[in-house]
Amino acid sequence: MLENGESSATRLLSTNGVQQVPNPKIELFQLRGFLEPELCAELIALIEANRRPSTIADANGDAYFRTSETCDLDPANPSVRELEARLVALNGIDPAFGEPCQGQRYDVGQEFKPHTDYFAPGGEDYVKYCSVAGQRSWTFMIYLNEVEAGGATRFKVVGKTFQPETGKLVCWNNRRPDGSVNPNTLHHGMKVRKGIKYVITKWYREKEWGW
């Protein structure tokens, strides 16, 4: 187990199939087939059964900034426990540093406009969201299905776009090597044009979550 909500390139690349985006501005990885289709289908069913409008920290006045729906996944559910076990095996992050897993559902026309997952230092909500658990360290995201059209995740600064693919994981470090937040992680969950998009998001913190 690594310390303080940290994963590392070395740890991630020790799993067969993990690929790192070759760009010094960001630590960004993908792993195809991280979850098998059966587990993805179970997680989709959970998201369908229990969802609410998604929210954002540091509200910016744009009511259409994040138009998806969110599911707070029950940590006691067997499929969610399996998901958590897969994550720790891959990333070596002590689960105590993780926020609870969420599912996100995007219908046609829904998106999450360009944003970073870290809380803006000095921003209004920084104290509110970071005083206990600290800043977000790593993001792990898993696509649960193939979308008929649209719904890619675009990292504009580094020029990398990921297409949704059943069971594919994408993960990145939200900070630079010196520990400061990395604006090059800016990413856009682009509009779904046809079909419905389902993803899992898992965020880790620099301190124990403990809520």
Binding track over 140-159 against ligand AKG, x by CB under 6 A: -------------x------
Q: What SS3 class is residue 157?
A: coil
Select the residue interacting with ligand AKG from 201, 202, 204, 206 (CB under 6 A): 201
The beta strand positions in 13-168, using DSSP E, are 19-20, 28-31, 52-53, 69-72, 102-106, 112-115, 136-143, 149-150, 153-155, 160-162
* Rounded Cα gap, residues 85 and 95, in angstroms: 9
Main-chain dihedrals φ then ψ at residue 22, nearest 5 degrees = -80, 75
Query: Which option in ligand AKG, Fe ion, none does residue 69 bind, with CB closer than 5 to 8 A by kind?
Result: none
Q: How many residues bind ligand AKG (CB under 6 A)?
A: 8
The rounded Cα 95 to chain-centroid distance in angstroms is 15
Query: Which option in Fe ion, ligand AKG, none does residue 202 bind, with CB closer than 5 to 8 A by kind?
Result: none
Query: Which option in Fe ion, ligand AKG, none does residue 104 bind, with CB closer than 5 to 8 A by kind?
Result: ligand AKG
Site for Fe ion in 81-120 (CB under 5 A): 117
* Rounded Cα gap, residues 173 and 27, in angstroms: 6
Select the residue interacting with ligand AKG from 199, 202, 204, 205 (CB under 6 A): 199
Binding track over 61-100 against ligand AKG, x by CB under 6 A: ----------------------------------------
Select the residue interacting with ligand AKG from 136, 175, 187, 191 (CB under 6 A): 187
* Rounded Cα gap, residues 151 and 154, in angstroms: 9
Count of Cβ atoms closer than 10 Å to residue 173 Cβ: 21
Query: Which option in Fe ion, ligand AKG, none does residue 30 bind, with CB closer than 5 to 8 A by kind?
Result: none
Query: Which option in ligand AKG, Fe ion, none does residue 199 bind, with CB closer than 5 to 8 A by kind?
Result: ligand AKG
Helix 78-91 to helix 37-49 angle (10° resolution) is: 130
175: nearest Cα among 52, 1, 4, 61: 4
Where on the chain is the footprint of ligand AKG (CB under 6 A)? Answer: 104, 112, 117, 153, 187, 189, 199, 201
Binding site for Fe ion (CB under 5 A): 117
